[in-house]
Each structure stands twice: as C-alpha cells, then as structure tokens.
Amino acid sequence: MNTRFRRAAFAVAASAMAVSLAACGSAKESGDKTKPSGSAVKGDAITVGLLLPENQTARYEKFDQPLIEAKVKELTGGKGKVVYANAKQDATTQNSQVDTMITNKVNVLIVDAVDSKAIAGSIKKAKDAGIPVVAYDRLAEGPIDAYTSFDNEEVGKVQGKALLEALGDKAKSGDIVMMNGSVTDPNAALFKKGAHSELDGKVTVGKEYDTKEWKPENANANMEAAISALGKDKIVGVYSANDGMAGGIITALKSAGVNPLPPVTGQDAELAGVQRIVAGDQFMSVYKPYAPEATAAAEMAVALAKGEKLDSVAKSTVDSPTTKAVPSVLVPVVSLTKDNIKDTVVKDGVYTVAEICAGKYADACAKLGLK
Ligand code: BGC
C-alpha cells in the first residue's frame, strides 16, 4: 500500500486513534515479566479473517483490504496479521471461506457479505466457535458483534438529489432509467429507497432494474434494453447505484449514439468514475472515505479479539433483521461532482491530480482548472 494513502488513513482516523494508541501501549509492555505471562502477547498476535464480496469494483482490493491490513498491523505493534479471501460474487464460496477460517482458528472475522441472508449460518458457526464477527459495509444477518458502514440510505438520497439538480426544469421532459444494485446486498435496497425518496413524483421512471451481482456488463445489457424500449432520445437521466455500473451504462449510451449524454449518477469515487466526471461523461459519484470505515473495522476487530469493549469506537447501534442493537460506526458521505474533486479525493490523498489527469484527461482537467 502506498504511503500517501496510509497518511490519509491516519489523518481521518485521528479521533479514534486514542483508543488504538492505548492498545499499542499495553502491547509494548508485553515483555514485562511482572505481568501475567502470555495474555498481552497472545492479545497482539491476532489473526483477523477478512472476507470481501467481489473484485470487479475497485474499492475492495485497492482500498478496503490494504487499509484494514495496515491498521491491524499498527494496532498490534506489527504482531497481528490479516488472512484475506475474496468471494468473487459467490455466496457459496464465501460460506466455505468462512468455514476454512474457522478451521484455521482465526481470532476474529471481518465480513462483507455477498448475500446478507445466505451468510447468517456461517456467522452463527463462527460465533459458536468463539470467533467474534464484524460486519463490514453490508449488514450481514446472524449474530454479528459490530458493524461499520456509511449511512446507505443517505447515499441514495445524495444520488437522487444530485440527479434532480442536474435535470433542473427538464426533470419531467422524458424518462429516467434506474439501475439499482444486487438484491442480495442490503445496501442496494437502501440506496434504492433513498433515491426513490428524492425522485418519486418529480421524474418519470421509464425502466428500473435490480442488477444481477452488481456487474457492469449486466448494467450495460439492461441499459441497451432500456434504450430500445424507451427510445434513445427519450432518456433524460440515469440513476446508477455505483461507478462500475455507470461505466457499463455510459458505454451503452455512447454505442447507441446518444449525444449529448444524459446525467448519470454513481458511487465509490473510483478513479475511472472520477475521470468520467472530469470528461463530462458522468455527472456525479458518491465519495465514501474508505479510511475511516476500514479503521473502525480494524479497531473493533482487534478489540473484540482481545475481549475489550467497543464503547470508545462504536458510538451508535443498528438493528439487523436478526440482531438488535449492534454496536456501529457509520461514516458520513459526500456528493462528488466536477466542482469538488480537489476538496475531496485529492485532499484526502485518495488520488493525486496527476493520476486523475493522466493522458487523455489532461485537457479536460485544464478546462476545470484541476492542477
Ligand atoms: C458497496 C458499494 C459497492 C457495491 C458493489 C455495496 O455494498 O457499498 O460501495 O459499489 O456494493 O460491490
């Protein structure tokens, strides 16, 4: 992982750091023979099992995984480690990945579920084996101990509001297409709910899809179908739940010869998404700072593995369909448009201007004054 990102991770996590520093302090004293032997050393030699749902969306292996690994290292004075598995969108694979981690006796799990219901049995198995579980980003069902994410209904609202703003007085002059995420992901339902709460009554939804497995190629195929059903000149805007799908949607619009492109939303502030915003192909994304989310997950996981309380990290609670009052950390989100690239992803060290403005994006960046 690069140092620039690590710096950003530390900066945003400053407040939560007091707790971690305290933990590090006790770790360093573990060699003290006057203390009960073993406990602190054992406490720091933690193995965290990290399970992420897919790798077609850039965030998981570019940000979430390296950020969590770095934070676990830092919190355990270099003694802790992360074993990582990616389910590549397959819920059955993810269940066996949990089984393997239970067999290998990891001390704690951080799970971003492919399917929030299908994972519940595996979470129960982990708990029965004495392994606490932190649900990451998606609220997994079953007896989880902690949760960290963003306010996901708010993400949908931010997207819906931005689309309305882009449409202005043209909001009802044609159809909008809504491309939601996967039905197995509870976040997708929240994004959809938030977006509808802003858009309903103010736009005409001509076609709406729940996109299988969040796949950009499925969004591309759905968009092609929407274009033939509605007519390419009738589509005034597209709600896309994330940047990966926005890429597939914009390709479909371009291949159909739609010009100018209607406003298209997104989420994740992926580099490709930010570059499409610079180029004027995508209207917005939602910037979700991954560092505080990853930091909270690592802190809660390490605390749980050591049998410590979560009060100092988790200030709120959420209810899942199966489990009430789960200690939680929800990180705020920001709407990202061409006007605030510098104040968000560049400022937080997620990307440099040079990365965003590389190659064919140089001219568009210059026009935006991004340097
Ligand atoms: C995450 C998004 C991501 C999507 C597809 C959601 O649960 O919150 O950031 O784009 O899954 O993986």
Task: Provide the angle, in degrees to the nearest 10, between the axes of the packed helices 152-167 and 186-199.
Answer: 40
How long, in residues, is the chain?
A: 371
Provide the mean pLDDT of the chain: 91
* pLDDT tens digits, one per residue of 266-287: 999 999 999 999 999 999 999 9
Q: How large is the greatest C-alpha to C-alpha distance in the chain, in angstroms?
A: 78
**With 0-12 CB in 10 A as exposed, 13-18 as middle and 19+ as buried, what is 369?**
exposed
- Which residue minimizes the CA distance to atom 12 of ligand 1? 57
Q: Is the CB of 185 under 6 A from ligand 1?
A: yes
pLDDT above 60 for 35: no
Helices and strands (DSSP H and E) totals, the chain: 15, 12
Ligand 1 centroid – CA 181 distance (Å): 8
Mean pLDDT for 309-318 is: 96
Distance CA 45, CA 78 (A): 8
Q: What is the mean pLDDT of residues 325-336?
A: 97
Q: How many CB atoms lie within 10 A of CB 371?
A: 10
Among 4-18, 20-34, 71-85, 348-362, which stretch is predicted with the lowest mean pLDDT? 20-34
Q: Tell me which DSSP letter residue 323 carries.
A: -
Q: What is the CA radius of gyration of the chain?
A: 22
3-state secondary structure of 176: strand
Query: Which 3 state secondary structure label does DSSP give 326?
Result: strand
Q: Residues 124-133, buried b or exposed e (16+ Cβ, 10 A)? A: eebbeeebbb
Q: How confident is the model at residue 43 (pLDDT cuts 50, 70, 90)?
A: confident
Q: Return the best residue to mutate from 51, 86, 155, 242 for the ligand 1 pocket (most ligand atoms within 8 A of CB).
A: 242
Q: Which two tokens stand for residue 75?
A: 């919190």
Kindly state if the Cβ of 157 falls inside 6 Å of ligand 1. no
DSSP string, 179-213: EE--TT-HHHHHHHHHHHHHHBTTBEEEEEEEPGG
Kindly state the average pLDDT of the residues 253-257.
98
3-state secondary structure of 71: helix
Question: Is residue 136's pLDDT more than 80?
Answer: yes
Q: Is the pLDDT of residue 26 over 60?
A: no
- Evaluate: CB of 196 within 6 angstroms of ligand 1: no
If DSSP codes are grouped into helix, strand and coil, which group holds residue 142?
coil
**Beta-sheet pairing, 285-287 with 334-336:** antiparallel
pLDDT at position 42 is 60
The strand order across the sheet containing 175-180 reads 204-210, 175-180, 235-240
In this prediction, residue 9 has a pLDDT band, given cuts at 50, 70 and 90, of: very low
User: Taking 90 as the threshold, does the pLDDT of residue 94 lie above it?
Assistant: yes
CB of 54 closer than 6 A to ligand 1? yes
Does residue 13 register a pLDDT over 70? no
What H or E segment, with its residue span, contains residue 134? strand 133-136
By the 8 A CB rule, do 159 and 200 touch? no
